[in-house]
Structure 1
């Protein structure tokens, strides 16, 4: 079946290349290199998705478009709980993600909360209304974007306030989801000119999506609560821009709050769309963040200055019913037992850079960067716990992490001839990481917080990231390039692993046995940074005025990998260690063609082979084992057909995504992961998602459309183990995509 899909893809590409059409592709402008350039002039592997395409695809958050990008994969447990991987650089742990995430000039990834749930390595998930474009940069971007850019960088570019313009839009979207119910989204934007030199742009969104998973009583099959994974999100974005001479200043504030009444997971593999529970135990989730930014830019003629100061203040709370894991340990419970998680994140970054503007053979860019982050995370497995066993609960943690980084960076480009160019980049960074963590309760000390095990850790290190690119323009609009680049991320501290030789203390005893089997004495307190080296050959080509074909071959070598060492289900306290080396190699192909003036085909495919290059017995990893969450193949095809009429245009958009199967944990498809409490096996099956949109855009500034998302009602499994405590051998907390959703949308521009 896989080979049939690949053959069909190849056939469609060949048929497109043989098509003659008179239409002409538009130029795509990006700022990935921190300059304003045409996509075809930038010597790196980039996918650029315009705001118009985002609207046509009906994407409301980044998850909706992630599968359209070659070599990008994800692991998700709902809004605000998504981890991104690019080019197979997939890690389930660490103090920082492997993909950096930007909103305009703001890096919005921050240090990890330390959670063992889906929050680990996740990114803030802003709504996408009124975006200019999305850029996905594949491969290490360490010189320009710093640490956490090992696999690549995602950039969300908002629409800027337009000086001297008064315009706006309103959008209403209503739909119904199979197994769920009614959903609606309201969006609005207004741009107001302020005097001769200013503009204020306000964007607001409200999302109310019904859930599709019910919480059920285990014995009587009575429904406790229907559609518990509903989502309510409120978003407000305000930007003001004031221009004076060749300079501008732009303050920006972005607020978003998301609430859910329950987990977006079902108890696999037994009961799709159902959470089977002993008690009626709600599991609410709330994620609230405020982002503030001040950007100043000035053009001095031959040089431009840009300075950006930003802050993210994020707080999320997460509740999980751990009655079943508690029962698995003690054999009885008297009431519902909860794990409560509350995390407060504060992150401040500053960047200033100078960029040359001249048309000389030599171009340059240089800057400084500073980051100061703090994550204060509290975990309590106490509420509902039988005080007769221990009045201080099952396990409690308070974990304070701080991270401070300073860096200098720069790039030099030189045109050796009119067609041959070399670019070299370098970034030096120095960081300090501190962690103070307290663990107490039955599993750790048996006492209150005054008796807590304490981890007081301080790590300082520095790193150098580099890049060297050679580019040959074989036509005015086409090029070949070769790149060597590196990327890295910092080290960090672990959760305390309880140890005891007393079998009566079952959790600590199980952990002690696990650590002994791994040959570890004491507690594994910390781990080091890891790094990636990338070798890439790529091309950008406009074959004709209506056919664009870009691609890249790459080889990534990953050293000292930060990977999760998973203990037994009886212990349930995982930790991070540096686990040897891995290699990821593959190819990315992107094709855009205008078959006619009104018919556009976009096709993209990615192949990734990401495997460990050595055996690491302490982590249960063998040579040639595969990394988790990495599909070998991904395919996307989008057809956009327009029918012009005298009073507007009708349009049809069909989008097809196919994603290969992935592993839940590193290893093999045949790996026995039941010891980790996962009973569904180690393979998350491949899936194909089709979306269809039919609409009319009027010359009188309104647009109406009907759509079906997930046309074939296909299930896409994102994870089997979204658990704050640990999975047990009775069910997996399985997270899936939204079932088939049928809806209508209306937009009015004024």
Structure 2
């Protein structure tokens, strides 16, 4: 079980300056990227020569970011991609690890199922600002109790992956709402009808001063009808090692847990032109929260008095049809996503200091007079019970999406993609205040006598869209692209309060419902010029948006209930180069103008903790991204990336209906100015059948703040950190197996990615961080 959370201003580790210099040097020498390219006619020989110099075949990864096959170096957008073999060798098991592979990508990690994905500093409460896709299927967070679906991105395990793509900058025309900052795509390996193959992987690890963890992954690919039908099944089990201790109950490693799941993929190819894919994905997570409390004065220690955790089941069912008509390809995708989740958050500290006569006067009688002895006794009885309590919030998401598109397939100058899209998302959240046993912190049975607050919210989003993107290449050098998307959505929110709570200024309220509708267009314009096959420059103006909606706070005045969509324009210029064999260098500069921001606020009233969203203010984000990958020697590869992001409000967050805390010049929350990462990998032959391999990954993340305003009493600084992982091992020369010894967080840094505070924590500081130094061994065996 997990208790409390906290943020601590972690001590400066000895040698930090030296490590920072080392990381900065790595960023300058090896800024990273993934090279993806579909090889056009006549270029095979050069591509093969390049491929011989690239350790992980990154020079030949094919990306589908434009919803048609293109080479990364020929794709005139800011995109990073990395192949599945490279992900496996680097120990990547979650999309959160992709921050090592793409500049300007940040994940505010609150543990499995509680992750906020940020690209280019575009982050705010409300709908997601980054789209996350597994194959063709988008996944969605739950709107929770604060309409903030962005903060709970679901996570499927990364094993048997073909590649990962990170599209930086708004992708509104092709990927629609929720891709304001960009899109993250995980593309899994597909069934192969011409071979029987399998793979197994396992790991065992131990956290310093913590517990033991481990994982098992397995895959089998079975041809059912040779060259026509194949089935690929993947399974996984993961045991999380605990490392957070609870000082109130004197318990250690309370944030343990596990996950398990897998996927089944069926591919049918009755003809060379037709491919039909059916897929089912499943992932279940049960884990106690890894948050700790700064005010304890110790790393990884909480003094929480009640349970905290995430219990999450995610399912995806999809069907995809691809038909090649020759010059035109048809793609039809239908996806049903189901998420059942229970979020448990210790809120005991909310009620600290309220168990007295002054508290009775303030919260029970709204300062009208002093409480009588009888009133005081009743008040104290209730308040003393919720001094040990958690928000217990069962919720579900059901999201059905459909897309039908046509794309050109030829090598001619004119290329295009057109399509239609629909979404029907239903969410229900029940939020209760459930008491815990004061002797253990364990939640008491979920029955009426232990529930001291009960609210239910229903949220229904319906969306339809049509999109088109057209490009034409002039003189074999200049390509002009234009895209547009029309969207139309309506959102209906209803709810009721079955049991009020005086500390929340909430009363029993019958079911109420409100609706919000909106439509509009977003656009994209791009011009790229191919100086020669190794150098390309492009400029782009692209737009992104998120749906608005209706706040869940029951009884909220009409002026505050609805909020509109917010949108932004991104202007960028980029250079993609291949100056030497085995060397790739890309550079991008951008500016984002973000208007009508969706702002997170609170309802008024003594002790109120209900979050709402409104529109106020604007932001400007300016940044630079650099990526470099090089293979200076056979078997020796270097890669890294560097990002600079200056994200600030350009207007005060003041509107006709809300005055929020942010003022012009304030930095956006959880957006560091600098981030850099690098990796070095060396493989050498030990014998004809055996290779040795050594690898190091390093990352630097600059400091940021948890809220906008410098005057906000809940504002907390998130300190900069450096994180270094190292691996050494053996592998078969034919890649049939490998074995690694690894150390993650080599220097045992308190790598804090989130520090925050609120009225729900009683002003205490909660912290989420990477685990302490972790030792382990991993094994992989392929059967072909």
Alignment TM-score, normalising by the size of structure 1:
0.89
Q: How does 1:86-97 map to 2 (within 5 A)?
A: 86-91=119-124, 93-94=125-126, 96-97=127-128
What is the deviation of 1:392?
9.3
State the partner residue of 2:211: 181
SS in 1 for 2:167: strand
SS in 2 for 1:269: helix
- Structure 1 window deviating more from structure 2 (710-719 vs 149-158): it is 710-719
State the partner residue of 1:620: 661
**Alignment partner for residue 717 of structure 1, among 752, 759, 774?**
752
- Structure 1 window deviating more from structure 2 (145-154 vs 1-10): it is 1-10
Does structure 2 conserve the Cα–Cα contact (< 8 Å) formed by 1:286 and 1:318? yes
Does structure 2 conserve the Cα–Cα contact (< 8 Å) formed by 1:76 and 1:118? no
Q: How far apart, in 2, do the equivalents of 1:34 and 1:498 lie?
A: 44
State the partner residue of 2:429: 377
Runs of 4+ residues over 6 Å off in structure 1: 444-449
State the partner residue of 2:552: 495
What is the deviation of 1:275?
2.0
Does structure 1 conserve the Cα–Cα contact (< 8 Å) formed by 2:314 and 2:337? yes
Does structure 2 conserve the Cα–Cα contact (< 8 Å) formed by 1:440 and 1:447? no
Residue 356 (structure 1) aligned with residue 408 (structure 2): yes
Q: How does 1:3-402 map to 2 (within 5 A)?
A: 8-9=25-26, 12=29, 24-25=53-54, 26-91=59-124, 93-94=125-126, 96-109=127-140, 112-116=142-146, 120-196=150-226, 197-217=228-248, 222-223=249-250, 225-245=251-271, 246-260=273-287, 262-270=288-296, 271-278=298-305, 281-331=306-356, 333-334=384-385, 336-383=388-435, 394-402=452-460
Q: How far apart, in 1, do the equivalents of 2:173 and 2:635 lie?
A: 41
- What 5-or-longer segments of structure 1 have no aligned partner? 15-20, 500-520
Q: How does 1:380-459 map to 2 (within 5 A)?
A: 380-383=432-435, 394-443=452-501, 451-452=508-509, 454-459=511-516
Q: How far apart, in 2, do the equivalents of 1:588 and 1:446 lie?
A: 45
State the partner residue of 2:10: none
Residue 530 (structure 1) aligned with residue 566 (structure 2): yes
Q: How far apart, in 1, do the equivalents of 2:219 and 2:420 lie?
A: 34
- Number of aligned residues: 699
Distance 1:421 1:268, change over 3 A: same
Residue 547 (structure 1) aligned with residue 583 (structure 2): yes
Does structure 2 conserve the Cα–Cα contact (< 8 Å) formed by 1:672 and 1:682? no
Q: How far apart, in 2, do the equivalents of 1:133 and 1:722 lie?
A: 37
Determine which structure has greater relative contact order: mean sequence separation of CA pairs < 8 Å that are 6+ residues apart, divided by chain length.
Answer: 2
Distance 1:455 1:178, change over 3 A: farther
What is the deviation of 1:524?
2.1
- Structure 1 window deviating more from structure 2 (225-234 vs 267-276): it is 267-276
SS in 2 for 1:726: helix
**Alignment partner for residue 607 of structure 1, among 637, 644, 655?**
644
Does structure 2 conserve the Cα–Cα contact (< 8 Å) formed by 1:365 and 1:412? yes
Q: How far apart, in 1, do the equivalents of 2:321 and 2:112 lie?
A: 32
SS in 1 for 2:351: helix
State the partner residue of 1:478: 535
- Output one character per residue of 1:525-578: Cα deviation in whole Å (capped at 9) or x when no partner: 121100010101001110111210012110000000012125689322222111
What is the deviation of 1:76?
1.8
**Alignment partner for residue 688 of structure 1, among 722, 734, 757?**
722
- Output one character per residue of 1:55-112: Cα deviation in whole Å (capped at 9) or x when no partner: 1110111112224320111212100110011111111x21x100011111111135x4
Distance 1:330 1:718, change over 3 A: farther
What is the deviation of 1:447?
11
State the partner residue of 1:642: 683
What is the deviation of 1:448?
10
Distance 1:202 1:182, change over 3 A: same
- Output one character per residue of 1:628-680: Cα deviation in whole Å (capped at 9) or x when no partner: 0111000111001111232221111100000001111113xxx2443x3xxxx
- Output one character per residue of 1:703-724: Cα deviation in whole Å (capped at 9) or x when no partner: 111000111111122223387x
State the partner residue of 2:631: 594
Q: How far apart, in 2, do the equivalents of 1:141 and 1:475 lie?
A: 27
**Alignment partner for residue 732 of structure 1, among 756, 765, 777?**
765
- What 5-or-longer segments of structure 2 have no aligned partner? 1-16, 32-49, 357-382, 439-447
SS in 1 for 2:750: coil
State the partner residue of 2:37: none
State the partner residue of 2:6: none
What is the deviation of 1:741?
0.6
Does structure 2 conserve the Cα–Cα contact (< 8 Å) formed by 1:626 and 1:666? yes
State the partner residue of 1:559: 595
State the partner residue of 1:704: 739
SS in 2 for 1:524: helix
Does structure 1 conserve the Cα–Cα contact (< 8 Å) formed by 2:488 and 2:518? yes
Q: How far apart, in 2, do the equivalents of 1:190 and 1:466 lie?
A: 43
- Structure 1 window deviating more from structure 2 (316-325 vs 161-170): it is 316-325
SS in 2 for 1:401: strand
SS in 2 for 1:208: strand
Distance 1:587 1:538, change over 3 A: same
Distance 1:446 1:13, change over 3 A: closer
What is the deviation of 1:321?
2.8
Alignment TM-score, normalising by the size of structure 2:
0.85
SS in 2 for 1:619: coil
Does structure 1 conserve the Cα–Cα contact (< 8 Å) formed by 2:349 and 2:760? no
Distance 1:393 1:442, change over 3 A: farther
RMSD between aligned residues: 2.7
Distance 1:609 1:474, change over 3 A: same
- Structure 1 window deviating more from structure 2 (5-14 vs 72-81): it is 5-14
- Output one character per residue of 1:10-63: Cα deviation in whole Å (capped at 9) or x when no partner: 75359xxxxxx9963432311111111111010000010111111111011111
Q: How far apart, in 1, do the equivalents of 2:725 and 2:495 lie?
A: 46
SS in 1 for 2:85: helix
Does structure 2 conserve the Cα–Cα contact (< 8 Å) formed by 1:312 and 1:346? yes
SS in 1 for 2:173: helix
Q: How does 1:510-525 map to 2 (within 5 A)?
A: 524-525=560-561
Does structure 2 conserve the Cα–Cα contact (< 8 Å) formed by 1:661 and 1:686? yes
